[in-house]
Chain A
Amino acid sequence: MKTKTNGEARIGFYVCHCGTNIAGVVNVAAVAEYAGKLPGVVVSRDYKYMCSDPGQELIQTDIKEHNLNRVVVASCSPLLHEHTFRTACEKGGLNPFCFQMVNIREHDSWVHDPGDPATEKAKALVRAAVKRVALHKPLEVKRTRIHPDVLVVGGGIAGIQAALTLANGSQNVYLVEREPTIGGHMAKFDKTFPTLDCAACILTPKMSAVAAHPNIKLWTYSEVVKVDGFVGNYKVQVRRNPRYVNEELCVGCAKCVDACVYKEEKFEDEFNEGLAKRKPVYLPFPQATPPVVVFDPDACIQLKTGKCKKSCLEACDRDAIIFDQKPETKEIEVGTIILATGFRTFDAGRLPQYGYGTLPNVYTSLQIERMVNASGPTDGHIMLKDGSKPKAVGIIHCIGSRDNRTNRWCSRVCCMYSMKLAHLIKQHTGAEVFNFYIDIRAPGKGYEEFYEKLQEEGVHFIRGRVAEVADWPLTKEEEGKLIIRVEDTLAGFVRRIPVDMVVLATGLEPQPDAQEVRRLFNISCSTEGWFLERHPKLAPVSTFTDGIFIAGCCQGPKDIPDTVAQAGAAAGEALSLINAGFIELEPNTSYVVADDCSGCKTCIPLCPYNAISRDEEKKKAVINEAICKGCGVCVAACPSGSIVQNLFTDDEIFSEIEAVLG
């Protein structure tokens, strides 16, 4: 590529009208006239839309005709069109970095009234750009290759979908899941709204596909413990926690479970939300993937005391049990990472007025999901503690959602899953079902129709935030019942509605360790703990860290269709990087002038991107340009002034300040 940069600066200046966005406030003709008289400027023009094709051609033609070696455009934010104009310069035969952009729209015309001061401000900004651009040096864009493998963290429906999409596109995927099985929350559901199709029937084929896929390396019961590197070149450590079973040998026959010295199931079954018990060795649920048992080290006598007769060992005809299994750390290299770490449900015990944990027959929605599931703790029967069928059931919405005292956000799925549960409860028991809601939020495809269907089925909807689930009867009819006290805000009076069973529609919360996870992957979080997308509308699965994407409820509450769509989008973003084969690195990076560096190490801990290391042999700091984001912290901090940042040299910055001031 030939570049014209040598000798005297010959600057082309262009000011954009942006329709009336700029020209309605700033006198653009006066700015062009003023700039034309500045030292080095050989051509100065104003034009209606500089970003249009003719506008760009103007620059290209002028470069050739006037032998320009620098270009300044005064228009909008560089975020929008810097790339456009740099490309125009390049097409005209100029190094794209011999260009400077001035923002006189967001920084001037959009924030000031029409008149002379706005025009004077534009002139000052232009003066600064013209003076600094003369000092610009041609820079080269560097490229770094992208490692084609992808790490997906979290094996719920989001992670499963992302992993399968990538693997089907021939990428190698590592899928890391903390629990002993993939499937996440969705595996606990009975049906899905609004179609009422069986959750397991649509999820388990995907789980099996993950396990069988030649391109997916599935590591369950494992956690990411360290992440180094940068986009295209991440080095990740994964700790595989011991499940005390050889995964290659175990086939999930569960003979060891039958043989366990505990004849009774005694320990809380997490998968069944505490409604059932399990043994110290167990398979979380029939379709667990991988189909490999796991030993609970806090329950297993052998693991706790080393003094068990180990009847499980004898029962296992594949010799798959390894009591001295140790945690194992795997090191992998990947180019991109997708985080799909999910959510947790709100702890209903935090709102004592609803009686969860103190009153019998008050359940969370997830518990009812398990109860209504044929493979659940009651074989699919919705029943009270005494085994009888409820005649009336109250479902209370917004438990831990839309509440200043707990969580302010709407959890988005509760209205819909409450209606789904209302339908299932009515279908299974014939009970009267009351929904207590603040607003019904049913904005998805087929959702409003589902709401209507429920009303036709005779499910009651009472608008009002429930005050209390009470066990203090005022009448004979209320005795022995759970009394829901609520202000019916449509009827306009306070009601007491006796029911047999209460379902608390608990909301969604960030994972308790969301902050640690975000630090591990160097991404941002909202104050609540939801992972932050790069742009809420236009980059919803990207993060501020290149090459790391987010999908599913770790980014915020969402339903299965949205989760799956986001997982696909994240996989697509990763594929887009991988297919490019390399990434271009902005050349506004810093470098160390080795002769001046004293090796004091001041800069190293300050770098937010860990881009600086120390060459121990030469005793000098070294900046990895691939990691450097050009923030300039090291430049400012270097005591000997030996760090220089491209496009932001001292000369360039000082000349800019000098010019803008006068």
Chain B
Amino acid sequence: MKFSYFPGCSLKGTGRAYEESLFAVCRALGVEVQELDDWNCCGATAYMAVSEAAGYMMNTRNLALAERAPHDLLAPCSACYLSLKKTQHYIAEYPSIAEQATGALAAEKLTYAGKVAVRHPLEVLVKDVGLAAIKKAVKQPLTGLKVAPYYGCQIVRPFAEFDDQQNPVLMDKLLQALGAEVVRYPLKTRCCGGSLTGTIGEVGQRLSFILLNEAQRRGATCIATVCPLCQFNLDSYQAEISKQWSPVKMPVVYFTQLLGLALGLDAKSLGLHRCIVPLPPRAAPRQEVHA
């Protein structure tokens, strides 16, 4: 099983732990990952807001690069995933955008035929690798770990292709397969604050607070996320948030990190040391612990 991989800026920066843990679990599960050569920025929300056309062109270039290999394209960052999906949708639906893209690509002697499939690692791990195979590979079940599964907004909306738009469940199933206890977390697709934490801090942080507070209220040990921006927002401002509203202390980890722990991988190789609010050691089972 082999995939092309589009890291985007986050997985090389603030979301480095996501890349580290993704690589580690892919290696452990026999999934080959090949980083796209010469990839460029996906434009994310910022570019799309300034010039949609430029945003589409940037993504089409990445898609065209991916099409040179016969593999699906893995896009772990939710913003990248959505930008790529949105571009594919608009190019397929609107001939004028497709024409513009074709022209732009020609400058670099690239072509895009609309064939490459953009995939999120959550879908690939649960559906391609499969829960049965993962269950078999679990060495240290996450027994006793209470996890609030948090999906964020972008991987299911508006292109809900692999999970329910209102109530996604794939991560719930994965975490259960790892032996963790999944707490009912109805805010699983509610906004984390997105880029508001950087622009209008108080508004963004209040949105993060609601998510953290509710996970705490429901007795979660940690929040599991699929998105680098969600992880950053929820993890980074807990001191300020506690001062502003009420005390929160809630580790926020990538689902791949929890998967890695269950597979018996070393916490450091999963980038767990990069968390600002650390996952309590007893929640990260040690080698000798058996369920």
Contacts and interface: CB of A to CB of B under 8 A. Distances in A.
A472 B186 CA distance: 8
Contact of A353 (B166, B184, B210, B217): B166
Interface string A349-365: 00111000010000000
Given A471-B186, A472-B187, A352 B164 contact: yes
Contacts of A472: 186-187, 210, 214, 217
Contacts of A660: none
Most chain B CB within a 10 A radius of its CB, from A351, A352, A468: A352
A96 to B, nearest CB: 55
Contact of A351 (B166, B184, B187): B166
Nearest to B245: A474
B167 A353 contact: yes
A460 to B, nearest CB: 24
B186 A470 contact: yes
B247 to A, nearest CB: 16
Interface size class of A (residues with CB under 8 A): 10 to 19
Interface of B: 164-167, 184, 186-187, 210, 214, 217
Interface string A284-297: 00000000000000
Contacts of A471: 186
Closest 10 CB pairs of A and B: A352-B167, A353-B166, A472-B214, A352-B166, A472-B187, A472-B186, A470-B186, A471-B186, A474-B210, A351-B166
B69 to A, nearest CB: 35
Main secondary structure of the interface of A (DSSP, over half): loop
Interface in A304-344: none
Contacts of B166: 351-353
Contacts of B187: 472
Interface string A236-273: 00000000000000000000000000000000000000
6 contacts: A353-B166, A358-B184, A468-B186, A472-B214, A472-B217, A474-B210
Interface string A459-489: 0000000001011101000000000000000
Contacts of B167: 352-353
A86 B99 CA distance: 59
Given A472-B210, A474-B210, 9 more contacts: A351-B166, A352-B164, A352-B166, A352-B167, A353-B166, A405-B165, A472-B186, A472-B187, A472-B217
A470 B189 CA distance: 13
Interface in A443-471: 468, 470-471
A352 B188 CA distance: 12
A405 B210 CA distance: 28
Contacts of B164: 352
Most chain A CB within a 10 A radius of its CB, from B184, B186, B217: B186
Nearest to A351: B166
Contacts of B214: 472
A351 B167 CA distance: 9
B156 to A, nearest CB: 12
A353 B167 CA distance: 7
Contacts of B184: 358
B264 to A, nearest CB: 34
A612 B184 CA distance: 63
A580 B167 CA distance: 59
A471 B186 CA distance: 8
A110 to B, nearest CB: 34
A405 B156 CA distance: 14
B85 to A, nearest CB: 18
B183 to A, nearest CB: 12
A474 B186 CA distance: 14
Contacts of A468: 186
A470 B167 CA distance: 13
A471 B167 CA distance: 15
A474 B184 CA distance: 17
A352 B168 CA distance: 10
Contacts of A351: 166
A183 B214 CA distance: 47
A95 to B, nearest CB: 58
Nearest to A359: B186
B4 to A, nearest CB: 32
A385 to B, nearest CB: 17
B166 to A, nearest CB: 5
Most chain A CB within a 10 A radius of its CB, from B165, B166, B184: B166
Nearest to A470: B186
Nearest to A353: B166
A48 to B, nearest CB: 51
Contacts of A470: 186
A413 B5 CA distance: 52
